[in-house]
Amino acid sequence: MDGNPGKPWQIPEETDILVTGPIEGWQDAPSRPPSSWPGKLRWIQLSSAGVDFYPEWLLDGPPVALARGVSAADIAEYVMLAILRVEKHLDQITLRSRAAWMRHDIGSAAGRVLGIIGFGAVGHQVARRARVFDMQILACRQSAWIEPPPSGVRAVADVRDILARSDHLLLSLPLTSRTRHMMDADMLAHARSGLHIINVSRGGVMDHAALLAGLRSGRIGHATLDVTDPEPLPAGSPLYGREDVLLTPHVAANGRDTQHRFIRKFIENIDLFCKGHPLLDVYDRHRGY
């Protein structure tokens, strides 16, 4: 049955499963759950991996299953594109006239250090591709390493250590109360000079004032931001128009097969649900993701 996209919390009384995603209607959700919520709901399936878009009360009722990993491969391609763009100086060597024709020295990803903060599905996919380019990979995660890191990935406990050793830094961690503005001035003070920061997680993990100060001082060499806070950035933001910043409109997760992968995950969860088995990728209220 179709729900109400303007008020997605308004569902037919007999609904067992709610499938929803980060549609605009959730931005206007009431601060408290409606009196009829959650009705007979037994399971909520989100089409997103993050939960910061939804009201808190959506996460406090029936189990909420997330779409973890659905867009990981697409995001990983975006990340590698961002790394190669900086290393190969693509903006500088792009010709726009005959007069600009000249030879340039360009860099290489091989041997460069990639730091990954938040080693989930996206981190794994990025690491797979970065290894092909012979990059050195450091990774840090909030939860314990249940298994050893993949081949070619070195686990690092301290985020500051990763900042100090990385040429490129990927932020791929969830936005929670612990990670909001995690990348502030104190944290960025540990960055290796010229660091390239890539944020594909949530804009809220980055303190944009601190980032801008780092760019102006030269400690941060480049920033690739697919996510910002707020989103979009307001007109006149000093991040617009900077040659050392690439802003994209939250598109890293968009891919040709993203919807099909989500449907396959949802069907797998339906099968588990009907058999009475635990669902895949259920939101953990304690961890916040």
Catalytic residues: 202, 231, 250
CA distances (Å), origin 74, targets 67, 90, 139, 264, 271: 14, 21, 20, 16, 26
Residue 223 CB partners (closer than 8 Å, separation 6+): 196, 197, 198, 199, 211, 215, 239, 244, 245, 246
**Lookup result for tokens 């991996």:** 49
Residue 261 CB partners (closer than 8 Å, separation 6+): 70, 71
Which strand (E) or helix (H) includes residue 20?
strand 17-20
DSSP-based three-state secondary structure for 134: coil
DSSP-based three-state secondary structure for 273: helix
Candidates 240, 229, 91, 242; CA nearest to 171 is 229
Would you call the peptide bond into 232 cis, given omega within 30 degrees of 0 as the criterion? yes
